Structure 1
Amino acid sequence: MKRWWVAAGAVVLVLGLVTGGLWVFLTPGHRTTFLVDASESADFGEVADAVGAAASNMSADDSLALRKFGGSCDSANTSELVTPGTGQAAKIGDAVRAITPSGKATLLSGILAAIDDFARTYPFRGSMTNRVVVVARGGADACGKSADEVRRIIADHTARAGVKIDFRFVGHRLTPEQVKALNDIAAAADARQPRLTRTSAELVTTMKEVSIPADLVAQEIRTSPCDSVTPETLAAAHPLGADVRYFDIKCRQDRFVLASANTTPRRSDDLLLVFELKDEKWLNLSSGTSLPCGTVPQEVWKQWEMPCEFEAVVCRDGERKVTDLDGVGCPAAIAIADRYWTAVQGGQAQGQGLFWDAAEWSCAWPYEDGLAHAQVPLKCVRTTDDKVVQIGDYQR
């Protein structure tokens, strides 16, 4: 009997040591949540690019998360898009660029939810810093609570979370009235005065600066991956021959490169090549005189002033099939398709053409030559760039 107790005690001791070791090993030094204003606005692309650049600028050992806010005051208006974890900067960038902005600014809901995220035992908090980086665009909060109410509610949630959270606020293209409201909320969160930006370049730089953990500030901002892209870098990543050189290199979002290649002196047409940064290495995605869109976001092709050949992608098959015809991106395509389908089912679409508009989207059940109306799928067009999402399938 005595031996049994000794053995059991040894097992408990070993399990305790293993658990404690894993706790220390898995706990990140720094944890940061990007809290993004996803309310309706025309300049959300600038915010998405800045958040993606800030995430890629941080250490792979930092735990990063993404939460958005925006919508209606009387319904769910904030959601966590990427849960905390290390090594997921690219995931943060992809998720924020897939957001379709809509609704009103609901900053207070986003802040409270972000605080509550830190209240859980797992995912682990940072052992040195825990930070929420807030990007406000269309305003501070449209839900009408007084400064005293905001201060009390934030204090209650912070006390329950039991952890010191360092809030950093960035206001982009705000009016004087919106700046004042954001200052009040920042004060209620016991944060320093918000940083204000007016241009896309200012926003990228500011986001990188406020996202760096305090103990790394002396190191300033790490070199952007785009700064390291040279003809020699690309030649090493994808050799083309001794007499061929790379030139006219264009880098976007710290992870996509478009370059030309030709002999010296040039002969015939330039060869176009696209690269993506993966695991800190530049990899060639495609090459030719014309290029497929592939996984490169449409806004990047637009920045390059280059067309690309998009192949339609079935984002969801089955009874409620969704097809991305022009490179909207599957998350955005499925989101608008489901919203339109709900509107149709709820009787909100107008007339036999089932017309329905939401923010930058215009949806309908069109007529097409040579097909009965019942054979034609529903379609949603993004009015900002005429990209089309198809809902359903042709019945021929």
Structure 2
Amino acid sequence: MKRWMLVAAAVVVLLGLVTGGLWVFLPPDHRTTFLVDASESSDFREVADAVGSAASNMSGDDSLALRRFGGSCDSANTSELVSPGTGQAAKIADAARSITPSGKATLLSGILAAIDDFARTYPFRGDKTNRVVVVARGEADACGKSADEVRAIIKEHTLRAGVKLDFRFVGHRLTPEQAKALTEIAAAADAQQPRLTKTSDELVTTMKEVSVPADLVAKEIKTSSCDSATPEALAAAHKLETDRIRYFDVKCQQDRYVLALANTEPKLSDDLIIVFEYKSDAWRYVVSGTDLPCGDVPKDVWKAWNFPCNFEPVVCRDTQDSKVIDLDGAGCPAALDIADRYKAAIEAGQAEGQGLFWQSGDWSCSWPYENGYAHSQVPQKCVRTTDKLVVQLGDYQR
């Protein structure tokens, strides 16, 4: 019996040592949650790409998580899409790009849920830093809390969590009013002044800067994926059935897309145009030819390349009373929004003259005259003045 007790005691001691060892060695130095505004908007793809770039730029030993917010104020409006863990940058990127934006901004709910995520004993917190990187794209919060209420609620949850959290706020394409509201919430979270961005490139750069822990900035920022877009790497990623292929004029955008020219032997064309995407830590072939479809590559990337692509018009709505077509890639959320507002303006008598001229922000709408068609046959159109993208209300004539 004594021998049995000694063996049992030894096992208990051994388990204790193993458990203690895991507790010491498993916690990461740094843990970061990306908190993403997934409320309805036409520019969410830029945010998803920037989150993916920031995640891939961080150390594989960092614990990363992804949480979204956005929806209805009186129902569940935030959820954790990727739980904290190391070595899952690609998982974060894929989950961000799979989000379908909808609903209103519910930032406060997202912040409180992110704080509560850190309150649990497991997954482990970071030994050195625990950070929440927030990306806001519109209203800071549509659920009506005052700045004082927000400050009190955040303080209560933070004290309950028992951990010091470093909040970093990034506002993308915000109006001055929206930026002011985000600044107030950042102050309530005892955070730095929000970083504001206007373009996708600015957003990618800023997300990388605010995500990497301060003590690792000098040594942990990895080489940009664009730096790896060499002719040799692209040739390895896409091997044509020819004797030789030579890539040149390689143009990279957003650390994710490459447009390159290629010559082949025997010669297939004067200059073969090939598009690649950086995915799963490698360059992947997307499409090639001399006349390319836009596909999933964002319009601003094509614009930066100064290369026209062919966008297939998308019918965003087709009912008995309304047909809305995205002709050039504005995105259905933006197309439906401006179409409905234009229709309401016409019904309210706010559109001017026979051409039904009406403007709202970046959009200019009218009922144009076109050669070869009676006026009644021509659909109404709205043009976004910043990029000349067209939304059509009615049958497709082009």
* Deviating more after overlay: 264-273 vs 57-66: 264-273
The 1-side partners of 2:57 and 2:390 are apart by 30
Q: What is the deviation of 1:290?
A: 8.6
Flag the 1:302–1:143 CA change in 2: closer, same or farther, 3 A. closer
Structure-1-length-normalised TM-score: 0.70
Equivalent residues of 1:292, 1:308 under 8 A apart: no
Match in the other structure for 2:297: 299
Match in the other structure for 1:103: 103
The 2-side partners of 1:98 and 1:196 are apart by 24
Flag the 1:236–1:103 CA change in 2: closer, same or farther, 3 A. closer
The 2-side partners of 1:131 and 1:56 are apart by 16
Q: What is the deviation of 1:129?
A: 0.8
Match in the other structure for 2:135: 135
**Deviations along 1:146-197, whole A, 9 cap, x unmatched?**
2221111111111111111100011122222222221111111111111112
Match in the other structure for 2:360: none
Flag the 1:174–1:19 CA change in 2: closer, same or farther, 3 A. same
Are 1:198 and 2:198 matched, yes or no?
A: yes
Match in the other structure for 2:189: 189
* Deviating more after overlay: 105-114 vs 223-232: 223-232
Flag the 1:20–1:242 CA change in 2: closer, same or farther, 3 A. farther
Equivalent residues of 2:249, 2:261 under 8 A apart: yes
**Deviations along 1:212-234, whole A, 9 cap, x unmatched?**
11211234743211122111333
**Deviations along 1:350-376, whole A, 9 cap, x unmatched?**
9899x9xx94698xxxxxxxxxxxxxx
Any gaps of 5 or more consecutive residues in structure 1? 310-325, 327-335, 341-348, 363-383, 387-396
Flag the 1:122–1:253 CA change in 2: closer, same or farther, 3 A. farther
Q: Secondary structure at the match of 1:187?
A: helix
Equivalent residues of 1:33, 1:66 under 8 A apart: yes
Q: Secondary structure at the match of 2:125?
A: coil
Equivalent residues of 1:290, 1:308 under 8 A apart: no
Match in the other structure for 2:381: none
The 1-side partners of 2:234 and 2:88 are apart by 24
The 2-side partners of 1:37 and 1:173 are apart by 13
Equivalent residues of 2:41, 2:334 under 8 A apart: no
Q: What is the deviation of 1:256?
A: 4.6
Match in the other structure for 2:379: none
Are 1:155 and 2:168 matched, yes or no?
A: no
Alignment of 1:44-83 (within 5 A): 44-83=44-83
Look up the equivalent residue of 1:36 and give its one-letter code: V
Match in the other structure for 1:113: 113
**Deviations along 1:335-355, whole A, 9 cap, x unmatched?**
x9xxx9xxxxxxxx99899x9
Match in the other structure for 1:168: 168
Equivalent residues of 1:56, 1:254 under 8 A apart: no
Structure-2-length-normalised TM-score: 0.70
**Deviations along 1:33-63, whole A, 9 cap, x unmatched?**
1111111222222212211111111111111
Q: Identity across aligned pairs (percent)? A: 71
Are 1:249 and 2:247 matched, yes or no?
A: no
Equivalent residues of 1:137, 1:172 under 8 A apart: yes
Look up the equivalent residue of 1:92 and give its one-letter code: I
Look up the equivalent residue of 2:170 and give its one-letter code: V
Equivalent residues of 2:90, 2:280 under 8 A apart: no
The 1-side partners of 2:62 and 2:292 are apart by 34
Look up the equivalent residue of 2:227 and give its one-letter code: D
Q: Secondary structure at the match of 1:209?
A: helix
Match in the other structure for 1:37: 37
* Deviating more after overlay: 252-261 vs 38-47: 252-261
Look up the equivalent residue of 2:296 and give its one-letter code: Q
The 2-side partners of 1:133 and 1:53 are apart by 13
Equivalent residues of 1:32, 1:64 under 8 A apart: yes
Q: Secondary structure at the match of 1:154?
A: helix
Equivalent residues of 1:301, 1:308 under 8 A apart: no
Flag the 1:96–1:297 CA change in 2: closer, same or farther, 3 A. farther
Equivalent residues of 1:69, 1:110 under 8 A apart: yes
Match in the other structure for 2:369: none
Q: What is the deviation of 1:7?
A: 1.0
Equivalent residues of 2:292, 2:309 under 8 A apart: no
Any gaps of 5 or more consecutive residues in structure 2? 303-307, 325-331, 337-388, 392-398
The 1-side partners of 2:126 and 2:295 are apart by 32
Q: What is the deviation of 1:23?
A: 2.7
Alignment of 1:231-270 (within 5 A): 231-235=231-235, 243-263=244-264, 268=269, 270=271
Q: What is the deviation of 1:239?
A: 6.4
Equivalent residues of 1:258, 1:274 under 8 A apart: yes
Q: Secondary structure at the match of 1:248?
A: strand
Match in the other structure for 1:94: 94
Look up the equivalent residue of 2:16 and give its one-letter code: G
Flag the 1:280–1:34 CA change in 2: closer, same or farther, 3 A. same
* Deviating more after overlay: 267-276 vs 220-229: 267-276
Look up the equivalent residue of 1:299 and give its one-letter code: V
Equivalent residues of 2:32, 2:65 under 8 A apart: yes
Root-mean-square deviation (CA, aligned residues, Å) is 3.7
Q: What is the deviation of 1:268?
A: 3.3
The 1-side partners of 2:151 and 2:285 are apart by 50
Equivalent residues of 2:201, 2:254 under 8 A apart: no
The 2-side partners of 1:49 and 1:205 are apart by 11
Q: What is the deviation of 1:260?
A: 3.6
* Deviating more after overlay: 77-86 vs 214-223: 214-223
Match in the other structure for 1:84: 84
Number of residue pairs matched by the alignment = 324
Match in the other structure for 1:177: 177
Look up the equivalent residue of 2:51 and give its one-letter code: V
